[in-house]
Amino acid sequence: MTDRVTFDGPVILGAGLAGLTAALAAVDTGGKALVLSPTPLATGCSSAWAQGGMAAALSDEDAPALHAADTIAAGAGLCDPTAVELLTTEGPAAVRALAALGAPFDRQPDGGFVLSLEAAHAKARVARVGGDGAGAAIMAAVIATVRATPAVEVRENARARRLLQDATGRVVGLIAEIDGALVEILAPAVILATGGVGGLYAVTTTPAQVRGEGLGLAALAGAEIADPEFVQFHPTAIDIGKDPAPLATEALRGEGAILRDRDGRAFMADYHPARELAPRDVVARAIHAERAAGRGAFLDATQAVGAHFPHEFPAVFAACMGAGIDPRVQPIPVTPAVHYHMGGVATDLDGRASLPGLYAAGECASTGVQGANRLASNSLLEAAVFGARAGRAAAAERAIGGEPVSLEPLPDLPEAALQTLRKAMSRDAGVIRDAEGLERLATQIEALEPAYGPCPTVVAAKLIVRAALARQESRGGHYRADFPATALPERTFVTLQDQETGRAVRYAAE
């Protein structure tokens, strides 16, 4: 028989920036929070791998409204302006709060933040740490704070195997697997902060174990999912046969690095007037096209960065040198890779999902700030701003609800089937999509459920693929070769049941 415990505060799944910020905010008013992390802290979350930084209006020349305008322009018609206003208005305080916890942002001699310019930002507004080390340094400061906060209980090697619901559908806790043993945890609120979907694809810059589990768990419980078809491909993952693929940060192109084919020809002028600083989806498609044509794609930072690599971009330098490429004197082979999921569990501005008792924050949520294409360096910011809001709202929940009605843990997809799925997702739901590939992929995914049961990862893949099929246009991260034009701006809001009955629900963006 499975043990049952009752926890008097929110249970948070995931220990990236969103999850830990939610935990700290939840206990701020005197309560407690339980964080379940599938891996040791700092090791399995995308936040700790972020090379960019945090975008916020931190200088006198900038303003939240300017940051909001850039975010909305990048979002290609699908951002929720209210959510964006909140993100950009609360952004500067969120960055300062992390600095106060000890995050060592790069500083000017007068103490102000050193701010970098990134593609599609009208102002220099990205606060960085040590060139390309923002994620790791921010997470180190937050983890130290969590470790020093007794009201936040952390269990590592712990993951969710099902959300528990009472007869009304309210989420009343979850089945966790902790150190290999199953335990039912009843709680007044559950916050999903499980990250994105990179591990569902063969080529990704995110930790491999981040594979849409929160999305699948929420959808299987009946929660509404928003915009699952919008997956962001980073143009320049380092193509050295590693899984996950290390990232060559966009900041290299900001510094003047050039994309070349294997004959040394700079090709971006063929695709966009802004060349290397074109929108991320445009650059990803250009690199995809060059590679598909057999010409290869290489990021040449030998002139732009050269000898400065070891101290300006230490993470990129180490990844290249580890593969026998010296980026000071050699171009870096690059490939597009899944980097971020704009879609996720639909939430309100306080992280509330459509099911009572359920919250989501960070990449696994869809607050409406990322639209069809996330603006660079807005993801850690969203995790901090909306993680705190979700933590505060979930901490205010007191009642646990009724007796859970279904107590079977959900199955896992076996490793061999997962690897086959990952290859199929990269091939057919990748940078360029069409009906033929998506139909083939949907058929392949639908054969997995009778074989392996309702695995959350398979459900996440199904949501992405079905919504990509339904969206017969190209916009932001979603490009259909058979529907290259952009139609009216409409977000997707869908439940698993809607998808199974063939009804993908859309609402016009505000």
Q: Which residues are catalytic?
A: 280
Q: Which span sits near ligand SIN by CB under 6 A: 58-66, 243-251, 267-275, 307-315?
A: 243-251
Residue 3 · residue 178 · CB < 8 Å: no
Distance CA 508, CA 510 (A): 6
- What tokens were used for 185? 């945890």
Q: Is 52 in the site for ligand SIN (CB under 6 A)?
A: yes
Q: Which is nearer to ligand SIN, 185 or 299 (CB)?
A: 299
Tell me how far, at minimum, the Cβ of 54 lies from ligand SIN, in Å: 9
In the three-class reduction of DSSP (H, G, I as helix; E, B as strand; rest coil), residue 262 is classed as coil
Quick one: 376 or 384, whose CB is closer to ligand SIN? Answer: 376
Strands 332-341 and 365-366: unpaired
* Helix segments in 75-110, DSSP class H: 81-101
Question: Measured from the CB atom, is 202 or 277 closer to ligand SIN?
Answer: 277
Tell me whether strands 126-127 and 115-116 are parallel, antiparallel or unpaired.
antiparallel
Q: Which residue number, 37 or 51, has a Cβ lying nearer to ligand SIN?
A: 51
Site for ligand SIN in 376-415 (CB under 6 A): 376-377, 379
Q: How far is CA 166 from the centre of its chain?
A: 30
Q: In what order do the strands lie in the sheet with 332-341?
A: 231-238, 332-341, 298-300, 258-260
Q: How many residues touch ligand SIN (CB under 6 A)?
A: 9
Of 340, 344, 389, the closest CA to residue 368 belongs to 344
DSSP letter string, 320-368: HHHTT--TTTSPEEEEEEEEEES-EEE--TT-B-SSTTEEE-GGGEE-S
CB of 234 to ligand SIN, least distance (A): 6
Neighbours of 312 (CB within 10 A): 18
Size of the chain in residues: 510
User: Per-residue x/- mask for ligand SIN, residues 203 to 242, rule CB under 6 A?
Assistant: ----------------------------------------
Euclidean distance between CA atoms 507 and 510, whole angstroms: 9
Taking the alpha carbons at both ends of the chain, their separation in whole angstroms is 50
For ligand SIN, the closer CB: 173 or 195: 195
Smallest distance, ligand SIN to C-beta of residue 251, A: 6
Question: Binding mask 304-343 vs ligand SIN (x if CB under 6 A, - otherwise)?
Answer: -----------------------------------x----
Q: Which stretch binds ligand SIN (CB under 6 A): 373-381, 418-426, 458-466, 467-475?
A: 373-381
Q: Rounded CA gap, 450 and 469, in Å?
A: 22
Residue nearest to ligand SIN (CB): 52
For residue 46, the Cα-to-chain-centroid distance in whole angstroms is 7
Q: Which is nearer to ligand SIN, 75 or 216 (CB)?
A: 75
C-beta of 251 vs 278, nearer to ligand SIN:
251
Q: Looking at 108-116, 190-198, 374-382, 432-440, which segment touches ligand SIN (CB under 6 A)?
A: 374-382
Angle 51-57-58 (CA atoms, 0-180°, nearest 5)?
85
Query: Is 16 within 8 Å of 47 (Cβ atoms)?
Result: yes
CB of 123 to ligand SIN, least distance (A): 16
Which residue lies nearer to ligand SIN by CB, 224 or 250? 250
364 alpha carbon, distance to own chain's centre: 6
CA dist 103 and 411 (Å) reads 39
Distance CA 380, CA 482 (A): 34
Tell me which of 21, 37, 46, 51 binds ligand SIN, using CB under 6 A.
51
Place of tokens 């009906």: 435
**Is residue 250 a contact residue for ligand SIN (CB under 6 A)?**
yes
Footprint on this chain of ligand SIN (rule: CB under 6 A):
51-52, 249-251, 339, 376-377, 379
